[in-house]
């Protein structure tokens, strides 16, 4: 529903303000809070090089209960040592002071350039201002969504309303991400042996326990945020979190209701992930790769990801070049055995390869068909049940320009 937004679930308020952390005149402090602390879950980057807010966030969400999220853009607070940890903790304390609750009930988030300490004077002033500006309108949701952006060219938002047990339940979310995107997030974060970043914040008014939220979020992330890449460079700060206000009359803990809510959450996350691909740094189109017939979903996802991560493939997609050989061979980079004699490839709906040999097709017509906002590839690698889809975008000259000058 187009009129739904991040604060459509009952029991949430948000704000986004300008504190001057970014050079450009834009929102850079965001605050998202519930009326009272409630069930929550979060997943974090698995990169061993991880930011201070990830460390603090892992600790705070461990109880399965949060009051809200406080975040900044323009500085990642990564590789900042003990002072970075102290600053992340202070962000939470200030948020609790202006919005209620206690510091450990807040999840901190940061995104921007790595290796710089937070300008805490600006951060403190900004969080206080955000606390005064809290509201539950679509405008407040919009201001928060804009506060989390870095090299993004547009805000990213999605929402869905369903009926569970005769009662309405809303799931909504916003995210950011345009570069340094190759998330591999986990509930355990960097304890497991993601500048720009993937940050996603989700809200629901369903009455759902933290344990169920964790399972739903991990599943949804696996099919959405972990299935999108721009440059396959896992960030130090990747975080996705969901907060449940419990203000809906619908109680969801198991069975059909949980299945419906999980499906809605996955749909919202997939929409957000797609928007990340569409807004990739320098992107002119989305490239959607589906692998079918693999031995498992994990195998299918790995092969699709290998294709999407190939600079050669992404350059060909940018140039509308039906260079199918790059796609087929790209799947082999995943290191998962498959028989090319049992493999076929559809590129933009046109069969270009089957049974180990190319199929006849009109290069000019296919190239023209690839000059579109979305290009699809469907690679069938056998007769298995594993299916996986990964989203990326093309590589353009603008991508190189953005990343050559990002730090300076």
What tens digit of pLDDT does each residue of 318-342 get? 999 999 999 999 999 999 999 999 9
Using the predicted structure, report yes or no on whether residue 302 has a pLDDT greater than 90: yes
> If you average pLDDT over residues 212-236, what whole number do you get?
86
Beta-carbon contacts of 289 under 8 Å, excluding residues fewer than 6 positions away, are 304, 307, 308, 327, 376, 377, 379, 389, 390, 391, 392
Distances (CA, A) of 184 to 84, 232, 381: 23, 10, 24
Q: Is 111 a catalytic residue?
A: no
Distance from C-alpha of 134 to C-alpha of 98, rounded to nearest angstrom: 10
Q: State the pLDDT at residue 195.
A: 37
Write down the mean pLDDT value for the chain. 90
Least reliable range by pLDDT among 173-177, 366-370, 392-396, 400-404:
400-404
Q: State the pLDDT at residue 336.
A: 96
Beta-carbon contacts of 144 under 8 Å, excluding residues fewer than 6 positions away, are 6, 14, 15, 16, 30, 31, 32, 174
> If you average pLDDT over residues 264-281, what whole number do you get?
92
Distance from C-alpha of 399 to C-alpha of 382, rounded to nearest angstrom: 35
The encoded tokens of residue 303 equal 């092969």
Report residue 403's pLDDT band, with 50, 70 and 90 as the boundaries: low
Report residue 407's pLDDT band, with 50, 70 and 90 as the boundaries: low
Using the predicted structure, report yes or no on whether residue 194 has a pLDDT greater than 90: no
Report the CATH fold assignment for 12-278.
Answer: 3.60.70
Give the 3-state secondary structure of the chain.
Answer: CCCCCCCCCCCEEEEEECCCCCCCCCCCEEEEEEEEEEEEEEEEECCCCCCHHHHHHHHHHCCCEEEEEEEEEEECCCCCHHHHHHHHHHHHHHHHHHHCCCHHHEEEEEEEECCCCCCHHHHHHHHHHHHHHCECCHHHHHHHHHHCCCCCCCCEEEEEEEEECCEEEEEEEEEECCCCCCCCEECCHHHCCCCCCCEEEEEECCECCHHHHHHHHHHHHHCCHHHECCCCCCCCCCEEEEEECCCCCCECCCHHHHHHHHHHHHHHHHHHHHHHHHCCCCCCCEEEEEEEEECCHHHHHHHHHHHHHCHHHHHHHHCCCCCHHHHHHHHHCCCCCCCHHHCEEEECCEEEEECCEECCCCHHHHHHHHCCCEEEEEEECCCCCEEEEEEEECCCHHHHHHHHCCCC
Report residue 399's pLDDT band, with 50, 70 and 90 as the boundaries: confident
Q: State the pLDDT at residue 48.
A: 80
Bridge partners, 38 (sequence order): 66
The encoded tokens of residue 277 equal 């691909």
Least reliable range by pLDDT among 95-109, 177-191, 270-284, 307-321:
177-191
Distance from C-alpha of 323 to C-alpha of 313, rounded to nearest angstrom: 8
Q: State the pLDDT at residue 182.
A: 45
Instruction: Tell me the pTM.
Output: 0.89
Distance from C-alpha of 15 to C-alpha of 133, rounded to nearest angstrom: 6
What tens digit of pLDDT does each residue of 201-215 get? 999 999 999 999 999
Percent of the chain clearing pLDDT 70 (strictly above):
92
Distance from C-alpha of 49 to C-alpha of 35, rounded to nearest angstrom: 34
Burial 117-149 (b: 16+ CB within 10 A, else e): ebbeebbbbbbbbbbebbebeeebbbbbbbbbb
> If you average pLDDT over residues 82-88, what whole number do you get?
97
Report the CATH fold assignment for 286-404.
Answer: Ubiquitin-like (UB roll) (3.10.20)
Distance from C-alpha of 252 to C-alpha of 277, rounded to nearest angstrom: 32
Domains in the chain: boundaries: 12-278, 286-404
Report residue 242's pLDDT band, with 50, 70 and 90 as the boundaries: very high
Catalytic entry in 197, 203, 239, 266 = 197
């Amino acid at each position: 529903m187009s009129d739904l937004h991040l604060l459509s679930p009952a029991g949430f308020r948000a704000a986004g303000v300008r504190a001057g952390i970014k050079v450009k005149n834009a929102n850079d402090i965001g605050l998202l809070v519930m009326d009272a602390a409630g069930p929550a879950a979060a997943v974090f980057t698995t990169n061993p090089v991880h930011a201070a807010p990830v460390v603090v966030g892992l600790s705070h969400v461990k109880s399965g209960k949060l009051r809200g999220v406080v975040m900044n853009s323009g500085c990642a607070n990564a590789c900042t040592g003990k002072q970075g940890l102290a600053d992340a903790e202070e962000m939470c304390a200030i948020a609790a002071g202006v919005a209620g609750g206690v510091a450990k009930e807040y999840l901190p988030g940061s995104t921007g350039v790595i290796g710089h300490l937070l300008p805490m004077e600006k951060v403190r002033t900004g969080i206080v201002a955000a606390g005064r500006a809290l509201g539950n309108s679509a405008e407040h949701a919009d201001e928060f969504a804009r506060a989390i952006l870095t090299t993004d060219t547009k805000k990213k938002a999605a929402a869905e309303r369903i009926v569970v047990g005769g009662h309405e339940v809303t799931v909504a979310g916003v995210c950011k991400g345009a570069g340094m995107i190759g998330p591999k997030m986990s509930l355990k974060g960097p304890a497991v042996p993601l500048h720009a970043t993937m940050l996603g914040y989700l809200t629901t008014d369903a009455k759902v326990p933290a344990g169920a939220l964790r399972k739903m979020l991990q599943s949804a992330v696996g099919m959405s945020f972990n299935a999108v890449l721009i440059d396959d460079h896992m960030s130090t700060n990747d975080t996705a979190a969901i907060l449940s206000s419990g203000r809906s009359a619908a109680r969801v803990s198991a069975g059909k209701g949980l299945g419906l809510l999980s499906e809605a959450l996955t749909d919202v996350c997939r929409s957000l992930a797609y928007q990340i691909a569409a807004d990739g740094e320098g992107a002119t189109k989305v490239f959607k790769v589906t692998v079918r017939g693999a031995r498992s979903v994990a195998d299918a996802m790995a092969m699709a990801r290998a294709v999407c991560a190939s600079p050669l493939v992404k350059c060909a997609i940018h140039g509308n070049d039906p260079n199918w050989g790059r796609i087929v061979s790209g799947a082999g980079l995943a290191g998962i055995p498959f028989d090319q004699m049992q493999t076929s490839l559809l590129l933009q709906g046109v069969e270009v390869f089957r049974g180990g040999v190319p199929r006849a097709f009109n290069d000019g017509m296919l190239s023209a068909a690839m000059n579109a906002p979305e290009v699809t590839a469907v690679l069938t690698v056998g007769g298995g049940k594993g299916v996986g889809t990964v989203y990326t975008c093309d590589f353009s000259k603008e991508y190189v320009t953005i990343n050559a000058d990002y730090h300076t």
